[in-house]
Every structure is written in C-alpha cells, then in structure tokens.
Structure 1
Amino acid sequence: MTKPREKTREELQAEIEDGKKKIRQLENREKIIKQKLSVEERKARNHRLCKRGGFMESLVPELIAMPDEDAQTFFRLALTSEPAQEFLKKRAEDGNTE
C-alpha cells in the first residue's frame, strides 16, 4: 500500500484561502438572508398596523378627524376600562397571546 502524497505548502495555503473565501461567501449570504427576513417582518408589521388602524377607524369614524393626541387619549381610556382589562386578562389566562 502506498503512502498518500503530502500536500505542499502552496497547496495548503491555497486550501486555506479557498476555505476563507467560502466563509466570506456564506457570511455574505447570511447577511442577505437576514436583510430579506427583516424586510418581510417589516412588511408584515406594516400590513397588520394598517389593517387594525382601518378596523379601528371603521368602528369609530370620529378617529379620522381626531388629532393624534386625542386619539391616543381615547384609546388609553378605552383600553384601561374594566371590560377591556377583563378581556385582556382572560386572553392571557387562556394562553391566546398571539
């Protein structure tokens, strides 16, 4: 049985460089994938906020003409009401936190 030929210094250096190149490529690919994921998450959030905002305006049309500060006060009052707090508490107990 013959002994396998040992690699030369140049071959080993080339192998190291190839490995480093592959690592850089994979790191760049990871960066691109993370950016795409971030864009998709941002789109989903934006869609959810617009959908819910439209729903709120359809329930309370006065919100359309209301200044932001007044709308914020309205929601704060509505969401701190006893029925709203009971609803949120029940949802948390049922495990429906999505």
Structure 2
Amino acid sequence: MTKHKTGVSYLQGQKEKAEQKLRYYQHQEKMLEHRIPELTRKARTHRLCTRGGMLESFLICPGELTDDQVMELLKLSFRQQEVALALAKMIHDLQEARGDPTLL
C-alpha cells in the first residue's frame, strides 16, 4: 500500500511541520522587534555625537566651557532673529519636500 497525501497521519505530520515553522518565525519576529530599539538608540547616539562634534568645531577651547556655558551660548544664538528665520525656513522646506504640513 502506498501512503496517500490525504491520510490522517500525513496531514498531522504536515500540521506539525507548519506549527514548527510558525514557532520559528514567531521567534524570529520577536528577535527583530527587540533589535529595533537598539538600532534606533544607536542611530540617535551617532546623530548626537556627530552634531556635538559640529558644535565643538565652532567653539574656542570647548573643553574649558561648562555645560551651562554652552547651553547659554546656544540660547543666545537661537534668540537671534536671523537664526530663528533660517531655522523656520529649513523646517518649512523639509515639510514641503515631504509633503507633510504637520511636521512641526
């Protein structure tokens, strides 16, 4: 006798294989979901370091200034009208490019 592909034992075997694959892919999904925050954190850390380096390139003796002094310098800089206008234009251009009027 040959086994039929519709036999109960064959179908149970196929079901077990499918369930095993399902468990494998569910586990893979969990692993990938756990990596998302890590990758997001790494991207943010890279961005912060890059931009911090950019800021330090404009400071004279950046190691000598305290965090409070750098913050005060940034506050003064961003209060200037031409800086505020340039920032507003950059945001507007970004919104237009993305077609997203609700960006900010």
* TM-score, normalising length: structure 1: 0.67
Secondary structure of 1:52's match? helix
Output one character per residue of 1:50-71: Cα deviation in whole Å (capped at 9) or x when no partner: 1221121110124422222332
The one-letter code matched in structure 2 to 1:84 is V
- The answer for unaligned runs of 5 or more in structure 1 is none
Secondary structure of 1:95's match? helix
Q: Does residue 48 of structure 1 match 2:47?
A: yes
Matched residues, number: 94
Secondary structure of 2:46's match? helix
Give distance in 2, aligned partners of 1:31 and 1:92: 36
- Which residue is 1:57 aligned to? 56
Secondary structure of 1:65's match? coil
Q: Using the TM superposition, give the Cα deviation of residue 38 of structure 1 relative to its aligned residue in structure 2, in angstroms.
A: 4.2
The one-letter code matched in structure 1 to 2:42 is K
Output one character per residue of 1:24-83: Cα deviation in whole Å (capped at 9) or x when no partner: 211222233344454444333322221221121110124422222332232223223211
Aligned residues of 2:5 and 2:11 also touching (Cα < 8 A) = no
- Which residue is 2:102 aligned to? none
- Which residue is 2:23 aligned to? 24
* TM-score, normalising length: structure 2: 0.64
Percent identity of paired positions between Structure 1 and Structure 2: 27
Identify if the C-alpha distance between structure 1 residues 64 and 83 changes in structure 2 by more than 3 Å, giving closer, same or farther. farther
The one-letter code matched in structure 2 to 1:21 is Q
Secondary structure of 2:65's match? coil
Give distance in 2, aligned partners of 1:29 and 1:76: 46
- Which residue is 1:6 aligned to? 6
Give distance in 2, aligned partners of 1:75 and 1:47: 21
Alpha carbon RMSD of aligned pairs, Å? 2.9
- The answer for unaligned runs of 5 or more in structure 2 is 99-104
